[in-house]
Amino acid sequence: MSSWRKAGLTYNSYLSVAAKVIRSALKPELQTAAVMNRSKSEGRYVKYENGSAVTDSAPLNDK
């Protein structure tokens, strides 16, 4: 069994932690805004009823 699974992580959460550690370990001159913004993501949701979308997609932070 893999170490991330033994730690109770999913593969996606393991990759997220690993990427965050790598970004924080970069030299300060390489920690540009473009590199640090890669860790941010945006989720959207749509409400469905009877197989059809009832609302337009909206960002999760507006929920």
Q: For the segment 34-60, what is each residue's pLDDT rounded down to a tens digit?
A: 887 777 777 888 889 998 888 888 877
Q: What confidence score (pLDDT) does residue 59 get?
A: 79
d(CA 17, CA 23): 10
Q: What confidence score (pLDDT) does residue 39 get?
A: 73
Mean pLDDT of 12-41: 84
Q: What confidence score (pLDDT) does residue 62 get?
A: 52
Q: Are 26 and 35 in contact (CB under 8 A)?
A: yes
Q: What confidence score (pLDDT) does residue 63 get?
A: 46
The CATH code that applies to domain 3-59 is: 1.10.1620.20
Return all residues near 55 (Cβ < 8 A) that are at least 6 apart.
46, 47
Q: What confidence score (pLDDT) does residue 24 get?
A: 85
d(CA 61, CA 63): 5
Residue boundaries of the structural domains of the chain: 3-59
